[in-house]
Amino acid sequence: MSSPTPFDFFAPCPRGLEAVLAAELAEIAQGLPGAAGTPPFEVGAQVPGGVHFRGGWTAAMAANLHSRIASRVLLKIAERAYRGEQDIYALAAEQPWERWFSANETLRVDLTAIKSPLRSLEFATLRVKDAVCDRLRSVSGARPSIDTAQPDVRVFAFLTATVCTLYLDTSGEPLFKRGWRLDKGAAPLRENLAAGILRLTGWTPGAPLYDPMCGSGTFIAEAAQIALGVAPGVERRFGFEKLKQYDVSAWQTMKVAALDAKRRAGANKADLPIFGSDISGDMLDKARTNLARAGVPSLWLKQLDARAIVPPTGEPGILVANPPYGERIAVRGRGPRGEVREPRHASRDDGEQAFSRAQPDAADGEFFRAFGDALKQRFTGWRAFVLTADRSLPGQMRLRESTKTPLFNGALECRLFRFDLVAGSVKARPGSQEPQG
Ligand SMILES: C[S@@+](CC[C@H](N)C(=O)[O-])C[C@H]1O[C@@H](n2cnc3c(N)ncnc32)[C@H](O)[C@@H]1O
């Protein structure tokens, strides 16, 4: 189905990445062939946590397939002022959900709210679910089953203090799940946060990119896919494929083009100037597997302590890192007296919760000071970007940041610190040791 009627969509993203998501959506819109009768893809307002856009199914499908920064693509179904749960029920019960899915599909309803006066958001969620089920039963005689783990269809309700908006999800699994990550490693960065950071650094394909604490390889896999034109969603399915209406033939054309691009990328023998290292051989094995599954040729990967790094190439470029922080994953390597330091806690995969309880350890200071010295002494001309929840990091590295950008890694407030390692003008912090060699 190709509808000339444009729809309103909302693409949520990690907070702090709204502007780069809007720029990315504008590029995706430009890359779409304009067909007669297809509504234009118009990027709209940025709001905290996402970007609105308008267009036909082609816009929604292209955003799902090509956006590296969006977390989802949501189709706006209805919006109205509310005062209580009954208003929310009525709004949801009025919507022709049967146009999009039937009672044969399993359903999940999620609700988020900012400043809602309602006493129980759980109860409000149940009312939306009841309304959708009641509506389908009244038109078809059957209610959909609820499946919170792997639903066919997801409905999202968003409440402000006065307005309820209902969305139908077109993505399914969140878009940061690209489909290439087999092994998560200990503390992987979400792919869409990594891709947004790459855009914030101003890195462009062709310029050197180095992650000296690459872990499972998220930054370098994203960068290599960008350099080779591999669509982030080429290996996965999307929620819209379960809906009654979407533009099937346009989707097949888009998907075939994306698969062809991935095949060409796999055959590309060019050496990309994208480099990764980590102190852990296990992590590098995971990175190699992830890179192969992401359809990119093998990159330069070395087992190195970040305190001992040297530029992997003669031309200065962008260094980007997400160092260990607190209990989530500890700094490893040898301490100042040569002692071996092991992580204080076993690797955890429970993401932000563990991360948000984390506190840096005083002993990490020695590592960051030595890492800062390595940058000052050997990376002249590079720009370094470090993502951390530890605001004292520039002080520990004895470097003064040029910019700091607030970003959210899930619920955890982080900063992306930028250090310009320009010859003769590295801004040292008071009390720091100047470069010695
Ligand atoms: C937060 S993780 C990075 C995760 C990575 N961005 C990803 O998406 O998988 C920190 C990484 O720093 C590495 N690391 C710890 N101590 C190190 C050291 N002294 N030198 C280099 N890497 C180190 C760990 O092995 C881990 O892979």
Alpha-carbon torsion, ordered 199, 282, 275, 182, to 10 deg: -50
Q: What is the pLDDT of residues 294-324, one digit of tens each?
A: 988 889 999 999 999 999 999 999 999 999 9
Q: Which residues, in sequence order, are CB contacts of 49 under 8 Å at separation 6+? A: 12, 13, 15, 18
77: which residues sit within 8 A by CB, 6+ positions away?
A: 95, 155, 166, 167, 168
The one-letter amino acid at 129: K
Whether the per-residue pLDDT at 330 is higher than 60: the answer is no
Q: Are residues 152 and 202 in the same domain?
A: no
Residue 285's domain is classified under what CATH number? 3.40.50.150
Q: What is the mean pLDDT of residues 142-149?
A: 96
Same domain (yes/no): 216, 331:
yes
Reported as a single tens digit per residue, the pLDDT across 114-124 is 999 999 999 99
By most ligand atoms within 8 Å of CB, the mutation choice from 178, 184, 220, 332 for ligand 1 is 332
Local confidence band at 40 (pLDDT 50, 70, 90 cut-offs): confident
Question: Do the domain assignments include residue 83?
Answer: yes
**Which residue would you say has higher pLDDT here, 125 or 184?**
125
Long-range residue pairs from 251-259, CB within 8 A, at least 24 positions apart, any chain: 251/57, 251/61, 254/58, 254/61, 254/62, 254/65, 255/65, 258/65, 258/230, 258/231, 258/233, 258/234, 259/234
The CA distance from 265 to 227, in Å, is 9
Enumerate residues lining ligand 1, CB below 6 A: 185, 187-189, 213, 215-216, 218, 278-280, 283, 305-306, 322-324, 329, 331-333, 367
Check pLDDT > 80 for residue 224: yes
Label residue 368 by pLDDT band (50, 70, 90).
Answer: very high
Instruction: Flag whether pLDDT at 390 surpasses 60.
Output: yes
Full domain range(s) for residue 329? 191-232+266-420
Could you give the CA distance from residue 32 to residue 88 in angstroms, rounded to a whole number?
Answer: 37
Shared domain check, 106 and 218:
no
What's the structural domain count of the chain? Answer: 2
Query: How confident is residue 219, by pLDDT bands cut at 50, 70 and 90?
Result: very high
Q: How far, in Å, from the CA of 196 to the mean position of ligand 1?
A: 19
Q: Which residue has the higher pLDDT, 63 or 270?
A: 63
Say how many Å lie between the CA of residue 65 and the centre of ligand 1. 29
**Shared-domain flag, residues 207 and 161:** no
Phi, psi torsion values for 257, nearest 5 degrees: -60, -40
